[in-house]
Amino acid sequence: INICFITDHVFCVLIACSVTLTSVNQRLMSILPQTLLRRFAIILLCLYCTVSQAQNPTAPTRLTTEVSRDAVVIAWSAATDDDGVGGYNLYRNDQYFSTVFSTEAELSLADGLGQTFYVVSFDNPSAGETRAYSTRSDSITVQDNSSPTEPNPPLVSINQPPAAPTVLSARRESPNSVEILWSGATDDSLVAGYNVYRDNDYVATVFDTQYTDTSVAADTLYGYYIIAFDEPRLFSGRSAIVFAKEAVGSVTVIGQTGTEVTPPTPTPTPTPTPVIDTIAPAKVNGLTVSAMSASAITLTWQADSSDDTVRGYNVYRNDEYVTTVFTTEFQDTEVPRDDSVRYNVVAFDYSPNFSVQSETLLVGLGEPSVDTTGSQPGTPNVLLVSNDWVEFQWQPVSGATAYKVYRDGKLLYTVSPDDSVAEGQKFWETNSYIDCNSTRFYEQCLLDAPESGETYHYHVTAINSSGAESLAKQALKVTLRSNQRTNIQALLNDFSLVFNDDFTGTQLDASKWNTRLPWGPDTIINGEQQYFVDIQNSPDFGYDPFSLTGNSLTIEGVATPDTLSNAAAGQPFLSGAITTRDSFNFTYGYVESRVKFAEGAGMLSSFFLFHQWAALNAPEIDIVEYLGEQPNRAFQTYHYRDERFNDALHSTPTMSVASDGNPFSDDFHVFSVLWEPDLVVWFIDGEEVLSIQGPEVARQRSYITMYLVLGSEWTQTPDINSGIFPGQFEIDYVRVYQRNN
């Protein structure tokens, strides 16, 4: 019986089954009745018939590749099959890639270079049969000339013409069209194409194993044959002639012997459905400079070991595409002559899907020479981001004598201990920088400030004692904030009122307010010229700066009477301050007050939140400050202490908002802030005007402070003869809301 499967012949099966029934030894006959043995023989015969009907095509052979400037061609010798070869499935890196109906496939360079392919053929099954597939061909790798690889095996010399196509079929599809199909020819190298002849006249050259002739007449018999050719143009003999009959729908099939056979009932040819990869590779990480010279920069990055579908990488210089590489390294030999250069890398897979851009690597190129062995400051960290400025900080480098700060490759500032500007000294002491601090560098910011909503890249390099500049690590990417259309009333639907004073009484509510600042009335700060009368603790002082009208509180500032000069520590003016220190403090919420400012030069009306304890970053949120000499502007500032560098005081640029042309002191206006984790948003009359975001936003309990300053380091001394006295800072109400959860 084993011989039957080896010889694959029906006659052998019948003989073997007969021998089995007549010569099996008596012992086996005693165990197995002849009826059972006959059934066994029949099963064997049926099994053979099944195997015979499902005979598979041969595997394609002699795979070759050809690489041109813009394409990869993979070709192979045609397979053979008793039912005719229907086509070929191409596999790349052991995954289905495409189906073709010729003996070659053309791919793009990105799809082909460096990849390993094999081919599986499939047949044209007769009616009732399932499609049969060959075993896989030998694999072949398309050599990537960008890196050394093992050479391809030598090709067989091309000196034999191809064999003639064998199995042909002709189908009259319509009165004026005939479809011709044939099995692929074989050749010792590569079949390039086929010439189609009709009634001994040349019709067309095709590069597939099918052709539809649309130039035939109805009710006319035609005979077709095919000639194959290879490169360099050796021609096969003529195939057998297949006749296209007159009737629409008629089919003629010529077998391998050239004899006509009964055509099978046509069945649709299924095309394998490929698995479509739509998942993009992960963002490239670890982009860095591995080597650098005066003429070249070598970049390296990390490969994603969890994703074996990554094919290659696109490299960008200063946001422009440079090249595609298939390793995790690129040497740039065309570095622009500039202060710095930016690089990004994008990974792509076989589909191809593309990753997002890597973080920007910004490399300084300025003089003096770049020190590739020196210490590098780490990527800067954001401290605060606002609408037109950003503050960031970096780790100090041992032995650094200065730092250079770059924005998008442009040198912004050299931070040095020798800086003559006080703000520059603070940059050095705290390893931080503000781009752009309009309070200290107004003209510079006027010309070159970052813009609201735009994205920028920052990096910092270190200068050593020999004057050499380090490389930069990955750039800090920052998008500046832009104002949103926040609906305050809708926002407060998620909040509850936790503090309120409408000042409807006849005197200040001592359960909510006190009239003494934490440092006391005798301590003078910021060069201020007023004395804050603590009327609650000194009711007999001789002057009360607070008056209530029944629906508002007014803080009045006056010149100090001679009789009170000693009590006022010699200060030329008297005024008042109120705080909720020790009575009400909170963390996060929405705070607002409706106020009318004191008018006139030298009058400074203030409404702010101050830290309850000098801990954490000891913040101060200035909700509004109003200078009488700048009647059309309202100012906002934020201060905090640096927890990493000796509690150094950081102050944001003094931000301001212009009025619509009328002085803010002409009428009441509502000033407020939304204070959330990592976020402060300022509003005027319900409209968002400014915001800051970042890890240095206040995060400790704070209390409310409101007062009227007369003369200070920031404002001029008020003129007592100017008619602005008494100065009046009027407060309609103060309210605090907090989120319900």
3-state secondary structure labels for all residues of 652-717: CCCEEEECCCCCHHHCCEEEEEEEECCEEEEEECCEEEEEEECCCCCCCCEEEEEEEEECCCCCCC
Reported as half-sphere exposure (CB side, CA atoms, 13 A), residue 216 has a value of 32
pLDDT at 47 over 90: no
pLDDT score for 22: 39
pLDDT at 561 over 80: yes
Residue 600 has phi, psi (to 5 degrees) of 105, 145
pLDDT at 33 over 60: no
704 near 584, Cβ under 8 Å?
Answer: yes
pLDDT score for 254: 83
- For 464-490, give the DSSP string: -TTSPEEPP-BPEEEE--------HHH
228 near 185, Cβ under 8 Å?
Answer: yes
Sign (positive or negative) of CA dihedral 655, 658, 659, 664: positive
In a 3-state reduction of DSSP, which class is residue 88?
strand
Question: Which amino acid, one-letter code, is at 129?
Answer: E
In a 3-state reduction of DSSP, which class is residue 274?
coil
Tokens representing residue 359 in the block: 């973080």
Distances (CA, A) of 726 to 122, 403, 574, 599, 721: 101, 51, 10, 10, 11
pLDDT score for 452: 94
pLDDT at 366 over 70: no
pLDDT score for 486: 87
Give buried/exposed letters for 136-175 (b at 16+ CB in 10 A, else e). ebeebbbbbeeeeeeeeeeeeeeeebbbbbbbbbbbbeee
pLDDT score for 153: 39
Omega of the bond leading into 368 within 30 degrees of 0 (cis): yes
> Tens of pLDDT along 216-233?
999 899 999 999 888 766
pLDDT at 373 over 60: no
Distances (CA, A) of 11 to 5, 24, 386: 12, 20, 91
Tokens representing residue 391 in the block: 């503050």
pLDDT score for 471: 77
Omega of the bond leading into 17 within 30 degrees of 0 (cis): no
> Tens of pLDDT along 62-71?
888 888 777 8
How far apart CA 651 and CA 621 sit, in angstroms, is 10
pLDDT score for 271: 56
608 near 696, Cβ under 8 Å?
Answer: no
* pLDDT over 70 percentage in the chain: 85
- Mean pLDDT, residues 592-612 taken together: 97
pLDDT score for 269: 54
How far apart CA 377 and CA 364 sit, in angstroms, is 12
Between residues 673 and 439, which one has the greater pLDDT?
673
pLDDT at 147 over 70: no
- Mean pLDDT, residues 575-594 taken together: 97
- Mean pLDDT, residues 490-515 taken together: 96
Reported as half-sphere exposure (CB side, CA atoms, 13 A), residue 388 has a value of 17
| Torsion, Cα of 155, 161, 163, 164 (10° steps) | 140
> Tens of pLDDT along 616-634?
899 999 999 999 999 999 9
Q: Give the residue among 74, 98, 123, 104 at the shortest CA–CA distance from 191.
A: 104
For the chain, what is the mean pLDDT? 84
pLDDT at 654 over 60: yes
How far apart CA 196 and CA 180 sit, in angstroms, is 9
pLDDT at 444 over 50: yes
* pLDDT over 90 percentage in the chain: 48
pLDDT score for 21: 39
- Mean pLDDT, residues 646-652 taken together: 91
How far apart CA 169 and CA 176 sit, in angstroms, is 17
Residue 378 — pLDDT band, cuts 50, 70, 90? confident
Range with top average pLDDT, 90-99, 194-203, 471-480, 568-577:
568-577
Residue 19 — pLDDT band, cuts 50, 70, 90? very low
Reported as half-sphere exposure (CB side, CA atoms, 13 A), residue 331 has a value of 8
Range with top average pLDDT, 189-198, 464-473, 538-547:
538-547
pLDDT at 368 over 60: no
Residue identified by tokens 């309202």 is 634
Distances (CA, A) of 671 to 153, 493, 638, 688, 689: 81, 19, 15, 10, 10
- For 541-555, give the DSSP string: SS---EEE-SS-EEE
693 backbone φψ class: left, alpha, beta (φ>0; ψ -120 to 50): beta
- Mean pLDDT, residues 35-59 taken together: 54
pLDDT at 28 over 80: no
> Tens of pLDDT along 283-324?
999 898 877 766 678 899 999 888 778 889 999 999 888 898
719: DSSP letter = P
Question: Which amino acid, one-letter code, is at 730?
Answer: E
* Model pTM above 0.85: no
Question: Which amino acid, one-letter code, is at 156?
Answer: V
pLDDT at 18 over 70: no
- Mean pLDDT, residues 567-594 taken together: 97
Residues with Cβ within 8 Å of residue 56, at least 6 apart in sequence: 81, 123, 132, 133, 134, 135
384 near 310, Cβ under 8 Å?
Answer: no
Residue 447 has phi, psi (to 5 degrees) of -90, -30
Question: Which amino acid, one-letter code, is at 268?
Answer: P
> Tens of pLDDT along 235-290?
888 888 888 888 888 888 887 656 666 555 555 555 555 556 778 899 999 898 87
Q: Give the residue among 654, 598, 620 at the shortest CA–CA distance from 518.
A: 620
pLDDT at 677 over 90: yes
Residue identified by tokens 């735009």 is 454
Residue identified by tokens 């209530």 is 548
How far apart CA 662 and CA 288 sit, in angstroms, is 55
